[in-house]
Structure 1
Amino acid sequence: MSELFFKKKGIAIEKIASELYLLNINDRLPTMKEFQESYHLSRGTVQNALSFLKNEEAIKIKSRGHLGTYIEGIDYKKLQTFANAQRIVGTMPLPYSKLYEGLATGLYTMFNDQNIKLNLAFIRGAKERIEASENGTYDFAVISRFAAEEEMKKNPNITIALAFGANTYLSKHILIFSEKNKHEIEDGMKVGIDADSLDHYYLTKDLVENKNITLVNYPANQLIHAIRENEIDAGVWNYDEILEKGYTDLNYVDIPVKDYHEKISEAVIVCSRERLMVESLFKKNISIEKMHDIQNKVKAGELVPRF
């Protein structure tokens, strides 16, 4: 019985510390009932958790009568400790473009400014990154808004912790051809597709609809090699890398713009709904405006990538 009690208390402390981390001095403290309903905890468990955080001086609160109870003092470092968030580990795409380098640099810089240790792992394919985030291998994953929303349709355990706006993930995709005289996908072609990349998969399937072609499963980051070696006739690729690496020998055309393409261009942070503190850390410490500034400076060569 005592072991179960301490386990429940520990969970309550972690969840409540995560929510309090988003508050500031003079903000109203959620009521007992609000805490109970949010986390499905008993009144006594909530009271014990709040008493613990007050005794440890993570928060100082004061009642204002019928107006409620308000935050009078708050120690964010202690709340981080009690929410098990002194260190954060995430995964993002391989940093082959300046936008990705800027994104990684922005995350590293802003967390470092708050003395939060950030470690990044680079994994190809949104599916792999989402799974690694959901199963707890990593605290969060960087993917496109489109990939996030597609995954959330069938997986209610994933949530968007923070979104950075259009063109923070990439500027656009283009369609590359192995032959210089080709400008559209034709029947009989072999077209590369990366089944592990939700963005690449949907874009490609859209482009080849009603075409009599052969889909060749190929890692997206190897498509240019496959095109040059004539292993495939066409494939979708990130325009940013084409520009940055000076691939002037490649024959490519723009993809007709559709509504969902803007969602593919936007970088978002996803995490498990169970990791409330991860969401709180991003909302509290990561500035979208500063991220845009850092990405632009990395792209322009005014800031050396650091991650």
Structure 2
Amino acid sequence: MKETFYQKKGLAIEKIAAELFLLSKDDRMPIISELQEKYELSRGTVQNALSFLKEVGAIETESKGHLGTYIKEINYQILQSYVVKDQLTATMPLPYSKLYEGFATGLYLAFKKGDIKLNMVYIRGSEDRIEAVEKGLYDMAVVSRFAAEHEIQANGNIDIALKFGPKSYLSEHVLLLASKKHKTIMDGMRVGIDRDSLDHLMLTNEHVQGKNIELIEVPANQLIYALRENQIDAGIWNYDEIIDKNYEDLNVQFIPLKEQHKAMNEAVIICQKDNLVIESICKKNIAIEKMLETQNKIKNGTMTPRY
């Protein structure tokens, strides 16, 4: 069937399949002249593309006279095979915690079930992941809701396709201190900061405000190493890794949960602004409850990670 993509009408089939993918059963079909104008196609090309999609079982339509033509049946898997030609690309944080391994596994299994090849790239730093989506390097990215909403407010170049609820991104942030005698950041300390992570940057600035400290650039996932090597005296990090790796020797101080911190704990999937097809593909293939179930199974050790 996909040999059609190598013919002239292939592009028309792809565009119209994407258009129909956003519709539901009983929705009114777009008028041919509207599709002609929107995609700069001839009437015959649009008619041929629609006929092809009907022949392969992607849609079945019903005419209702002057009311127009309506979708009687719609097969999203067939439509999707023409919208997603080869694979989808996504990026998420390095899976250093079981929670992230669970999220990566959930995504892999969701798209595998939908017969979509997912090419996942792991990039440190929410800013870099967001920028990669904005530039079109990847179809989607996993970031915290805080990072996504911050970018939407600042530039408006992305949309949130799916939200996964509280503690789906991480359980909580904690303050790590090199010395056992301290419970907070003190004047004169060297504090690790990762400016590529919006969450980490905001939390660190919040904790050092008004204090005479030295900020040391450290990738967030190397904070524990930097503490142990006496490169820094304090830093904020993800509690999940500390639990997963049983770092009992660390001085861990819990951070009082504020309203803005809740957005940092929730995972979301973002895509380019107004990319309704990617949003729809995510919503039609990813069952949030199933994702969270997979995440919990891997976190609890009752399932082997696959990603």
Shorter chain as denominator, the TM-score bin is 0.7 to 0.9
Cα distance change, pair 46–145 in 1 and its aligned pair in 2 (3 A): farther
Cα deviation for residue 290 of structure 1 reads 0.4
Cα deviation for residue 280 of structure 1 reads 1.4
Cα distance change, pair 13–208 in 1 and its aligned pair in 2 (3 A): farther
Instruction: Measure, in 2, the Cα distance between the counterparts of 1:156 and 1:32.
Output: 31
Match of 2:50 in 1: 53
Q: Relative to structure 2, which stretch is displaced further, 197-206 or 134-143?
A: 134-143
Instruction: Measure, in 2, the Cα distance between the counterparts of 1:275 and 1:159.
Output: 8
Cα distance change, pair 301–46 in 1 and its aligned pair in 2 (3 A): farther
Q: Is the 8 A contact 2:22 2:276 kept in 1?
A: no
Cα distance change, pair 213–30 in 1 and its aligned pair in 2 (3 A): farther
Cα deviation for residue 50 of structure 1 reads 6.4
Matched residue SS, 2:167: coil
Match of 2:235 in 1: 235
Q: Which runs of 5+ in 2 are unaligned?
A: 1-8
Cα distance change, pair 190–78 in 1 and its aligned pair in 2 (3 A): same
Cα distance change, pair 31–56 in 1 and its aligned pair in 2 (3 A): closer
Name the amino acid aligned to 1:188: G
Instruction: Measure, in 2, the Cα distance between the counterparts of 1:50 and 1:23.
Output: 18
Match of 2:282 in 1: 282
Cα deviation for residue 189 of structure 1 reads 1.2
Instruction: Measure, in 2, the Cα distance between the counterparts of 1:264 and 1:50.
Output: 48
Alignment of 1:158-169 (within 5 A): 158-169=158-169
Match of 2:5 in 1: none
Q: Is the 8 A contact 1:139 1:275 kept in 2?
A: no
1:252-290 Cα shifts (integer Å, max 9, x gaps): 111122111111111111111264322111010100010
1:137-180 Cα shifts (integer Å, max 9, x gaps): 21111100000011111222211111111110000000000101
Q: Does 1:111 align with 2:118?
A: no
Normalised to the residue count of structure 1, the TM-score between the two structures is 0.87
Match of 2:28 in 1: 29
Identical amino acids, percent of aligned pairs: 53
Instruction: Measure, in 1, the Cα distance between the counterparts of 2:171 and 2:224.
Output: 18
Q: Is the 8 A contact 1:13 1:50 kept in 2?
A: no
Name the amino acid aligned to 2:139: D
Name the amino acid aligned to 2:169: Y
Normalised to the residue count of structure 2, the TM-score between the two structures is 0.87
CA RMSD between the two structures: 2.6
Say how many residue pairs are matched: 296
1:98-138 Cα shifts (integer Å, max 9, x gaps): 11011011111111112111121111001111111222221
Q: Does 1:97 align with 2:90?
A: no
